[in-house]
Structure 1
């Protein structure tokens, strides 16, 4: 898709919504004492406002409404996805104010995933894509919540994944516009969150990011031949591996896996290094390479794609194990 002054204006609008919304959310959080306090299950050392991700959620909703006006043929998909996004962001916003049980949150996530599945199916994108969208929504909403624990990590990973998906989708104008709006709103939020966090995404933001990614993933799959579907795993690999392997280790160890913790590799690594930015940057580099690999493989055969994706994921598992062992205990001077 050709870069135009109209696209530049589109990005500026949503970067402005992201920045202004985050600034307003921070003021609200400070007045309401909506703060994350440091603790043994936290990766920060000072009380920090949360809920800044509501700006990203609102910006993405505005973008969806704008795209319905431009592309009324996509009203079914975007209306259903919009309802689901409101459900996910809404339950996250409530949870940011007073913690809810994980099961009540999960019930809402299932309902929201159902809305996305319905939208994908009714928009003519096929039953298989609809089922994948349902699973993706459930997985990514919770993965982004699990992985939102250090400055800038969840936001930068979401922006990179969106860029990778948009590239794979090629000329899908709706996906590109929605993707650019999401990336721009993230860049509006990031100065408040990285390298020093003046506000966190909160559950409202991490959940909204995961749900938005599930929508964009479903849209990209519709444009890809089925043989190339495994390519979408590459941009997502950093978060899927750390979240999935850590969760598996906790379940095998008989721990209460649904409770907060600091056992993810990114958390242990940040604690060992004594700071968040190097870890966020390292994760970003991994995902940049993964996105480049996905772009390079686009158009390749089923066997080549399956082989490279498998090697990449196995390598990621090995790297996860190495980092987990080496970051088990902080270094001492």
Structure 2
């Protein structure tokens, strides 16, 4: 049901957002070359909520459903009004605080540190996921891969929340894959970043081996985190504000610097996400501190390899305006 809702709503939504000029206009940093409607995340959200209520689970997750609406609304405001970094941060802080108030947080130390870590996790991952929404089908595909891996854990709560998400993502991907007819916008990336951060905390919360499961969560969601850290370091090196937009993300450089095709770059990121995610799933299933440590070493080693081999801290050749 979530698939059909998302599919149909995307068809209906596309001309509406064009009519009201909720569009992404290309600039010298853009990969797309024409105005493209955005805010497609509305269709993903309604697809997820429709699927939850259709399956009879909606009432059980009503407080979370309201927070999902809140995350999507924050993204929509950003798409409409271009919120300041401070404004977005305040909205994310409110969402994270309410989520923790409902009892959804990491359980690592058994004290207030758990709430602080969870707060930073939700805000940090929402921003990390927002940064990878830069190529057709990339963010929705990475979200789908992570969701599938979380689902494979077999945890009861995840088996209820994830199928509607997967259906909604597939329905949206029909129109978001290259060449995209609509973008999810911050409307979608805020929602998906929030939802995935929540799924990671649920995996850890409902596991007996909390630290091993926390590492598993980190691995399953590692690609957006990896790209976020690269962005922060690169902007510091080049004396740019941390929140400044650019075209030097890892997926951009795979195309601009390494020479991969558009689809080649997208599928390479899919492959990296799937590998790290499967490493996280095996870590979760084995519940071994030794295996968790080994998985972290493998993941960090690959991060170092990709960064140095492909010079991922370099600015893209398209970063400067033709007028500069």
Normalised TM-score (structure 1): 0.84
**Residue in structure 1 matched with residue 210 of structure 2 by the alignment:** 226
| Worse-matched range after superposition: 43-52 or 182-191 | 43-52
2:277 corresponds to which of 287, 291, 308: 291
Q: 1:102: Cα distance to partner?
A: 1.5
Question: Does residue 207 in structure 1 map to residue 190 in structure 2?
Answer: yes
> Any residues of structure 2 matched to 1:159-178 within 5 Å, and which?
159-168=144-153, 170-172=154-156, 174-178=157-161
2:240 corresponds to which of 255, 259, 263: 255
Q: 1:268 to 1:70 in 2, by over 3 A?
A: closer
2:42 and 2:174 map into 1 onto residues whose CA distance is: 15
Q: 1:70: Cα distance to partner?
A: 4.0
Alpha-carbon deviations, 1:46-67, whole Å to 9, x = none?
A: 2111111111122223345567
1:301 and 1:274 map into 2 onto residues whose CA distance is: 37
Question: Does residue 59 in structure 1 map to residue 43 in structure 2?
Answer: no
Secondary structure of the structure 2 residue equivalent to 1:296: helix
> Any residues of structure 2 matched to 1:81-92 within 5 Å, and which?
81-92=64-75
1:216 and 1:160 map into 2 onto residues whose CA distance is: 13
1:275 and 1:32 map into 2 onto residues whose CA distance is: 33
**Residue in structure 1 matched with residue 322 of structure 2 by the alignment:** none
1:265 corresponds to which of 250, 261, 273: 250
Q: 1:63 to 1:43 in 2, by over 3 A?
A: same
> Unpaired runs of 5+ in structure 1?
1-12
Q: 1:215: Cα distance to partner?
A: 1.5
**Residue in structure 2 matched with residue 7 of structure 1 by the alignment:** none
1:296 and 1:48 map into 2 onto residues whose CA distance is: 39
**Residue in structure 1 matched with residue 20 of structure 2 by the alignment:** 32
> Any residues of structure 2 matched to 1:118-133 within 5 Å, and which?
118-120=101-103, 130-133=115-118
2:261 and 2:85 map into 1 onto residues whose CA distance is: 29
**Residue in structure 1 matched with residue 174 of structure 2 by the alignment:** 191
1:318 corresponds to which of 284, 298, 305: 305
Q: 1:146: Cα distance to partner?
A: 1.0
Q: Is the 8 A contact 1:117 1:131 kept in 2?
A: no
Q: 1:48 to 1:275 in 2, by over 3 A?
A: farther
Q: 1:315: Cα distance to partner?
A: 1.6
Q: Is the 8 A contact 2:236 2:242 kept in 1?
A: yes
Secondary structure of the structure 1 residue equivalent to 2:244: coil
Question: Does residue 240 in structure 1 map to residue 225 in structure 2?
Answer: yes
Secondary structure of the structure 2 residue equivalent to 1:198: coil
Q: 1:129: Cα distance to partner?
A: 5.8
2:83 and 2:26 map into 1 onto residues whose CA distance is: 19
Alpha-carbon deviations, 1:88-138, whole Å to 9, x = none?
A: 21121122122121211111011001111111259x997666554433221
Residues paired across the two proteins, number:
310
1:129 and 1:182 map into 2 onto residues whose CA distance is: 27
1:30 and 1:254 map into 2 onto residues whose CA distance is: 37
Q: 1:184 to 1:129 in 2, by over 3 A?
A: farther
Q: 1:21: Cα distance to partner?
A: 1.6
Normalised TM-score (structure 2): 0.87
> Unpaired runs of 5+ in structure 2?
319-324
Secondary structure of the structure 1 residue equivalent to 2:29: coil
> Any residues of structure 2 matched to 1:102-121 within 5 Å, and which?
102-120=85-103
Question: Does residue 309 in structure 1 map to residue 309 in structure 2?
Answer: no
1:105 and 1:232 map into 2 onto residues whose CA distance is: 25
Q: 1:81: Cα distance to partner?
A: 2.7
